Amino acid sequence: MDNKIIARPLSVEEFAPFGEVIEKEGAEQFSINEGLCTRFHDLATIEFSGPSAKPLLSVFSSKPCPLPLELKMVERHPLGSQAFIPFLGAPFLVIVAPDQAGTPGRPLAFVTAKGQGINFRKNTWHGVLSPLQEPAEFMVIDRGGEGDNLEEYKFNDPYFVTV
Amino acid sequence: MDNKIIARPLSVEEFAPFGEVIEKEGAEQFSINEGLCTRFHDLATIEFSGPSAKPLLSVFSSKPCPLPLELKMVERHPLGSQAFIPFLGAPFLVIVAPDQAGTPGRPLAFVTAKGQGINFRKNTWHGVLSPLQEPAEFMVIDRGGEGDNLEEYKFNDPYFVTV
């Protein structure tokens, strides 16, 4: 088995099956506050379903991941999307996998450009937050409420991800 | 009429009638991703009501406001909260006013500490985004959907706000 994965630059098109790229470029924008401010509007589709579901705003403060990243597992959230936006805009690694009849297929890896964030669609297999440098603080918008919103899948053999 | 307002340092207690201070300090936190990451959990109450209501994630890019700030009007959003989190954490000015039988009373002004964001509760009178320095980019979480979510109030005489 080829267990090496090389991350590609994140692109809106390639990432579309898995989620959205959060960025000002290409966004609907309009001027507000008597011209003092530009609003880059509605950059992600925030999904939340199930009993007592609500959107949550949180901050993740992470250590960077050493490369190559040993990818032993992926996870998904069947009840909600999950958005990650880096405070300082630093590039980070984004790992996703297509679903194949309930289990993840071969993962894909992307590296964000400076300033980009991402939003995983509901029920998308993905690796955990993987910053490439410090400090690595992210604003996170995901789903709170009752119900089991976490499914994990451990690979028999790990993948190794490089940039 | 005393039309001068001096901003005070933002405090959780003083701001509580108007909204929430978004910060890691004092937040519920727990370790995730095998200890690599700390989650500062559920930092703001995201409110959205009315037909087809949904939370929106947007970015505001604003010019700084010259001081003293001439406060000619305040606004409120009857159908949703509005959160502002500065990407680079720079302090900004936060202006609010208590409601007095449907119109705003005398405004109060606060200056955030580095790294703080704020979340205006639904239907809270407030001034528009007022950064104090450049660059001034903010993540904004507010409410989308049908219905009139904006009420503005123009003061007969402006206030002047300093820090």
Whether A87 contacts B89, CB under 8 Å: yes
**Residue B66: band (very low, low, confident or very high) from pLDDT cuts 50, 70, 90:** very high
Tell me the per-residue pLDDT of A95-127, one tens digit each, with 9 for 90 and over: 999 999 999 999 999 999 999 999 999 999 999
Grade residue B51 by pLDDT with cuts at 50, 70 and 90: confident
Residues in chain B: 163
Of B24, B87, B88, Cβ closest to residue A59: B24
Q: Tell me if A41 and B24 make a contact (CB, 8 A cut-off).
A: no
Structure tokens at B74: 């305040």
Nearest CA in chain A to B75: A33
* A36, A129, A140: residue with CB nearest B62: A36
Among B37, B42, B119, the residue with its CB nearest the CB of A129 is B37
Classify B4-162 by CATH class. mainly beta
> Taking Cα atoms as reference points, which of B110, B103, B105, B119 lies closest to residue B45?
B119
Q: pTM for the whole thing?
A: 0.97
* Rounded (5°) CA angle B119-B120-B125: 160
Cα distance between residue A26 and residue A116, in whole Å: 12
Q: Taking CB atoms and an 8 Å cutoff, what residues of chain B touch A58?
A: 39-43
Mean pLDDT of chain B: 97
Q: Are A86 and A53 in contact (CB under 8 A)?
A: no
Collect all residues of chain B within an 8 Å Cβ-Cβ radius of residue A88: 87-88
Question: Is residue B35 classed as helix, strand or coil in its secondary structure?
Answer: helix
H/E run at residue A13: helix A12-15
Give the other-Cβ count within 10 Å of B151's Cβ.
13
What does the block give as tokens for A40? 């880059």
What pLDDT digit, counting tens, does each position of B11-37 carry? 999 999 999 999 999 999 999 999 999
Chain A nearest-CA residue for B128: A33
Q: In what order do the strands lie in the sheet with B19-22?
A: A28-32, A37-41, B54-62, B136-144, B82-86, B117-120, B19-22
pLDDT above 90: residue B135: no
Nearest to B47 by CA among B142, B118, B138: B142
Verify whether the Cβ–Cβ distance A42 to B59 is below 8 Å: no
CA dihedral of residues B16, B79, B57, A104 (deg, nearest 10): 100
Q: Count contacts between A and B (CB, < 8 Å).
A: 107
Name the residue facing B37 among A56, A57, A60 (closest C-beta): A60
Cα separation, B4 vs B16, whole angstroms: 23
Quote ipTM for the complex.
0.96
Q: Give the span between the Cα atoms of B2 and A161, in whole angstroms.
A: 63
